[in-house]
Structure 1
């Protein structure tokens, strides 16, 4: 493990959240189209705490994505500015907590804070670890030419190049077919 488990999960969840946004350039559709989609996303990533399960909560989560996306293209000072802004806005107060199958880890919001606030602060706290460790190069954009999804490379050798949408397999198949056709 490169970082603590909660940091790795928070980084992966932040990337997954950013990647749910529609992208007209690539034709990617909205992956959080309704409250049920958000419910699935929350269950997949194990978000705890109170939920409103309404359109306002969905809209707040939608509004968070374009605030997180620039992190993947920013330099360290830009990341710090975004992270500090999120931590201030949502009044982060880090505390050690233990729940469900998780041993002690950090939460920086109240359990009854709005879902989007908990998502924002959790991402910000994980990014604090990346900045402090000098590891921002682990945040990338998928290298497939037709994909703009973001990637968090948590591999030991920093070799992850493609997103979780199958681009790596697709690019490998294309390279294989190109090699075979040149024979």
Structure 2
């Protein structure tokens, strides 16, 4: 995995409904090597990590200033301290016998929950390093509260997905037609 993948893990975990292990597996569907190994007993730790991610994301969307920066730094550093990445180079899964080089954030025998927690903490930290704090947002669609990273050129993203954007634009169009 690369840093962009870890950013996605952080966002998926922050946005996940952690009601049961199946909900977590659905959120981590793109990482079956973790998702398939998670257990019900992992839920309290994953909820704790998810809450820390959401606190950091909410702080990034608060008004700019030193207090916001300090809150972001405190929340991310607390996650990194509690779930430190232990990077290791891996080279499995390549084609034609050539290794597919990438970095894992936990040792080969680490429980899946430890790797997910470290990946999420590392992903959000790397996302801030790469993109700053101004590009993070929360969907403005009614009934949606999904966090996202805006990597658009004009930094004008307001919705988490085309589906939410279309839904809100259609609702606005219909409201204009009624009046």
TM-score between both structures, scaled by the size of structure 2: 0.75
Q: In the alignment, which of 43, 56, 60 is matched to residue 41 of structure 2?
A: 56
What are the superposed Cα offsets for residues 115-135 of structure 1, whole Å, 9 maximum, x if unpaired? 332222212222333333452
Q: Does 1:88 align with 2:81?
A: yes
Secondary structure of the 1:33 match is coil
Secondary structure of the 1:137 match is coil
Unaligned runs of 5+ in 2: 60-67
Q: In the alignment, which of 110, 120, 124 is matched to residue 121 of structure 2?
A: 124
- Residues 16 and 23, structure 2, Cα contact 8 Å, conserved in 1: no
Alpha-carbon distance in structure 2 between the residues aligned to 1:6 and 1:158: 23
Aligned to 1:29: none
Secondary structure of the 2:33 match is coil
Pairwise CA RMSD: 2.8
- Residues 49 and 112, structure 1, Cα contact 8 Å, conserved in 2: no
> CA shift at 1:155, angstroms?
2.6
Alpha-carbon distance in structure 2 between the residues aligned to 1:83 and 1:138: 16
Alpha-carbon distance in structure 2 between the residues aligned to 1:51 and 1:146: 30
Q: In the alignment, which of 123, 127, 132 is matched to residue 135 of structure 1?
A: 132
Alpha-carbon distance in structure 1 between the residues aligned to 2:130 and 2:26: 32
Secondary structure of the 1:151 match is strand
Structure 2 CA distance for partners of 1:129 and 1:90, relative to 1, 3 Å? closer
Unaligned runs of 5+ in 1: 22-31
Aligned to 2:5: 9
> CA shift at 1:47, angstroms?
4.9
Select the structure that is richer in helix. 2
Aligned to 2:15: 19
Alpha-carbon distance in structure 1 between the residues aligned to 2:162 and 2:6: 19
Aligned to 1:28: none
Aligned to 2:52: 67
Q: In the alignment, which of 145, 151, 154 is matched to residue 154 of structure 1?
A: 151
Q: Does 1:39 align with 2:25?
A: yes
> CA shift at 1:66, angstroms?
0.9
